[in-house]
Chain A
Amino acid sequence: MFGKLTLDALYHYDPIIVFANVIMVGAGVLVVALLTYFRKWGYLYREWFTTVDHKKIGVVYIVIALIFLLRGFIDAAMVRGQQATVGAGGEGYLSAAHFAELFTGHGTMMIFFMAMPFLVGLMNIAIPLQIGARDVSFPLLNAVSVWLTAAAGALVMISLLIGSFSEAGWSGYTPFSGLEHSPGPGVDYWIWALQISGISTTLTGVNFVTTILKKRAPGMTLMRMPMFTWTVLCTSILIVVSFPALTVALALLALDRSVGTHFFTSIMGGDQMMYINMFWLWGHPEVYILVLPAFGIFSEVVTTYCNKRLFGYTSMVWATMAIAFLSFGVWVHHFYTMGQDPLRNSIFGIATMVIAIPTGVKIYDWIWTMFRGRIEYKLPMLWTLGFLITFVMGGMSGVLLAIPGADYKMHNSLFLVAHFHNVLIPGTMFGLLAGFYYWWPKVFGFRLDEKWGRHSFWGWLVGFYVAFVPLYMLGIMGMPRRMVTYDNPTWQFWLVIAAIGAIIVAYGIFAMFMQIYVSWRDREKNADLTGDPWGGRTLEWAIPSPPPEYNFAVVPEVRDRDAFMEMKVNNRAYERPAKYEDIHMPKSTPLPIVVAALSFFFGFAYVWHIWWLAGLCVLGTVAAVIARSFNDETEFVIPASEVQADEDAFHARLKQADVFTHIDGIQEFGDERTPAGAFVEPTTRATSGAPS
């Protein structure tokens, strides 16, 4: 009846896991109780669970990301704590199995449930607004994607309570992740959490490729797209072309584990290296899927806060495309030591180093954009500067590792761990946090607190260096990654420093949550009345904050790369039509949460081999989709009068904030060709209602 699931699954060998479960279940019960007490379930259902609005979906993604940021960070801190305290030859407070679950969980959660949802959340929020669209191409599919991600995250969460999580590392190499070496439910939880979130991401990729190529406002040619839109287009193409490789690798591994096939086994004709090839055929493009949109965010930030056009826009576009293309030709560098001949390793080594060239182009483009710009050191600019310096360091250690000979020495050591954190933390996390601050007022109508934001920035930046420079040292000293204990006493000193770094990062994370709380508390004071708090250059700043459900009352006409800046310069910003028209928008629907719930139970049933339940879930999903396809009444109409009323209110706020006078003063784009000194007075910016 319940497959392999018995009450034993609730037994945990480790009091720390029991404690974590008490916290998790307690927090869950508390949230449910509070929502019930304040009678918020109806509101949540109407406004969030059934919505197909891309802005709200973006917020849900980021909420998921922040929850998993905490969980992923706790895992990392426990790993650091173990290695710092265990001492040479000691046992430490963690068992080897629990330690392995922690480093597996940390990697899995940070990549799949923190970075990806955070990124997709920002994509959801910004892309339709930047291209002047009222929603994405497939709003319903978009809602299915977000709730599938939530379902996959729930599988990770439930693995803490029922059974255990994978101990096979975030990449789940065979044959260790095969049934023989990992007989428990952990790897199965890992497989289905990744499978469901991967499918959700593939759907997102399809959605955004279509949205960006088909839904741009009139006049927005490809070479007039904002840089963030370009990078998201490249990322979406990468998603569509690479995620199916992960889907297949996981599906075949699941078959090996559940029905006894021999795809990746080491006996009976299976090929364990095939898994590793397939995994990295997805895994390397995934690195660029994570980093390219962050590059886009940095480009938006640099142009906005330097009040200049982006330097070398065309080279930036080509560099992005080149990185996207090259990312498919380097996967072997993840396993130089696993048996290829030197020729093959050399080819992949050279391909890997070549990627540094377009990346370098980007770095110079940002620097030249800043050059002679009137830089405003707002928080996103700090993240960008922190990124530039730190990321170049990580990139250089990457070029070092790309040399197969050096990699033979360094692979599987903490040097590698330091390297990829050194690219992913500045390259992705700093970008995400810059975008978080940058677009927050657009979504919520008030700006984030600057002071706590700075605390967060310095916490992350200093913490990063204190935590990861020692790992570079330890790697060179020969310490392998993923060690629950060790017998070299000279390592401990550096591990203690690294643990201190983790504590400093913890302060950065705490400061970010303080920033959210303080900003929410002072939301009246921080209100963004004009929709353009930063003197923005792209279309998302041309509409109110928060935008109405339909985004644009009138679809804008784009005449320049910096579309909104052109409107300000040519005095056609906030132009009103003679007459507003009715707007058709997609209706809310419960289908996405139904499909997501069924996927969750399917994953759970597969983990525990409850086949009848898995079958029912598949049938239910197919039935729900077919039933939905019979419904052609999927849109509703927002009457022109309502649009007119919204716009009247918006223009009243614009007048109150004296925006039109400011726009009259804007005469130039801040072009890279403009000579130095041409910027005289800071009157060229639209201000928001409150002093900044």
Chain B
Amino acid sequence: MASSPSYDLNRVRAAARADTEVNFGFWAYLMSDVVLFSMLFLAYVNLSQRFAGGPTPADIFSLHGVFLETMALLASSLTFGLAMVSLHQGRKNHIIGWLLATAVLGIYFLWHEVSEFVHIIHEGASFTRSGFLSAYFGLVGTHGAHVFFGLIWIATMVAQLAIKGLTPPIASRLARLSLFWHFLDLVWICVFSTVYLPGILAGGSS
């Protein structure tokens, strides 16, 4: 609380509400992102059986790795939630701490995803191999790109908090980042249950 003496906590809290004008606009943007992902899910479902004689999901997915990835991302939603709790308490350093924890989990997720991509490509299952693989890389990669931009955003917010303290505009941005991050979690749950689970179940083993 002492970290931002020039701003009153009520203004910070008000700025972080989900229904301010700016944050409402971000909801509207997220709706457009929902449609964007819907199209990619549509592409995946449509192309998911078009292997062109190439590898099938059972050949390339490993439930073990995806499970760890998923847990990391779910945990990062929890840590981001705790960052927002700290925001409502006005504790700048706690927010920074929880944001960094979120970032570590996000980086773990992304590192895992990229190494999975590299592994799959090395096995000869690149995105040029079949319609199925194009759609897989397209969907999962777009989600990964969103996580990557989320990480850049987290880094920016950590820097702004450290330099400027917990000001109402920064609280407002954190509220939007929070929406964005939870949204990505939600999308991942859909990816997990549309891409990985059916793919592996169809193969009969992990």
Contacts and interface: CB of A to CB of B under 8 A. Distances in A.
Given A622-B152, A629-B160, A240 B173 contact: no
Contact of A262 (B28, B31, B32, B131): B131
Contacts, number: 117
B22 interface: yes
Contacts of B132: 269
Contacts of A243: 32
A161 interface: no
A249 B152 CA distance: 26
B13 to A, nearest CB: 18
B169 A632 contact: yes
Nearest to B160: A630
B163 to A, nearest CB: 8
A642 B40 CA distance: 53
A207 B39 contact: no
B164 A632 contact: yes
Given A137-B25, A206-B28, A632-B167, A255 B134 contact: yes
Interface in B135-183: 135, 137-138, 152, 156, 160, 163-164, 167, 169, 173
Contacts of A622: 152
A343 B37 CA distance: 29
Interface stretch (B65-73, B81-89, B122-130): B122-130
Interface residues of A, number: 42
B134 A137 contact: no
B53 to A, nearest CB: 9
Contacts of A278: 39, 42-43
A265 B130 CA distance: 10
A271 B47 contact: yes
B28 A240 contact: yes
A261 B35 contact: no
Interface string A235-261: 000001111110111001001100111
B138 A261 contact: yes
Given A244-B39, A268-B52, A269-B50, A262 B22 contact: no
Contacts of A207: 25
B52 A269 contact: yes
A252 B131 CA distance: 12
A268 B53 CA distance: 8
Contacts of A209: 25, 28
A214 interface: yes
A281 B138 CA distance: 19
Contacts of B47: 263, 269-271, 274
B131 A268 contact: yes
B36 A248 contact: yes
Nearest to A273: B46
Nearest to B40: A248
B29 interface: yes
B140 to A, nearest CB: 13
A649 interface: no
B111 interface: no
Interface in B91-107: none
A240 B31 CA distance: 7
A387 B54 CA distance: 56
B41 to A, nearest CB: 10
A245 B35 contact: yes
Interface residues of B, number: 40
A241 B167 contact: no
Contact of B29 (A206, A214, A269, A271): A206
Chain A contact residues, majority secondary structure: helix
A252 B43 contact: yes
Q: From B32, B42, B133, B156, name the one whose CB has the most chain A CB atoms within 10 angstroms.
A: B32
A358 interface: no
A238 to B, nearest CB: 11
A214 B23 CA distance: 11
Contacts of A281: 39
A269 B51 contact: yes
Contacts of A268: 52, 128-131
Contacts of A263: 43, 47, 131, 134-135, 138
A202 interface: yes
B39 A259 contact: no
Contacts of A245: 35, 39
B24 A213 contact: yes
Interface in A418-455: none
Given A210-B21, A263-B138, A271 B131 contact: yes
Nearest to B170: A632
A364 interface: no
B8 interface: no
A576 to B, nearest CB: 28
Given A244-B33, A271-B46, A629-B173, A261 B25 contact: no
A271 B50 contact: yes
A403 to B, nearest CB: 28
A245 B22 CA distance: 24
B43 to A, nearest CB: 6
A267 B128 CA distance: 11
Nearest to B48: A269
A512 B183 CA distance: 49
A136 to B, nearest CB: 10
Contacts of B129: 268
28 contacts: A137-B22, A138-B22, A138-B25, A206-B32, A210-B28, A244-B32, A244-B35, A245-B35, A252-B138, A255-B138, A256-B134, A259-B127, A259-B128, A261-B137, A262-B133, A263-B138, A267-B52, A269-B47, A269-B131, A270-B131, A270-B134, A271-B46, A271-B47, A274-B42, A278-B42, A281-B39, A632-B167, A632-B169
Interface of B: 21-22, 24-25, 28-29, 31-33, 35-36, 39-40, 42-43, 46-47, 50-52, 54, 127-135, 137-138, 152, 156, 160, 163-164, 167, 169, 173
Given A244-B33, A244-B35, A260-B127, 17 more contacts: A205-B28, A209-B28, A213-B24, A215-B21, A245-B39, A248-B43, A255-B134, A256-B134, A260-B128, A261-B127, A263-B131, A263-B135, A268-B129, A269-B130, A270-B50, A626-B156, A629-B156
Interface of A: 137-138, 202, 205-207, 209-210, 213-215, 240-245, 247-249, 252, 255-256, 259-263, 265, 267-271, 274, 278, 281, 622, 626, 629-630, 632
A-B CB proximity, top 4 nearest: A269-B131, A269-B50, A261-B134, A248-B39
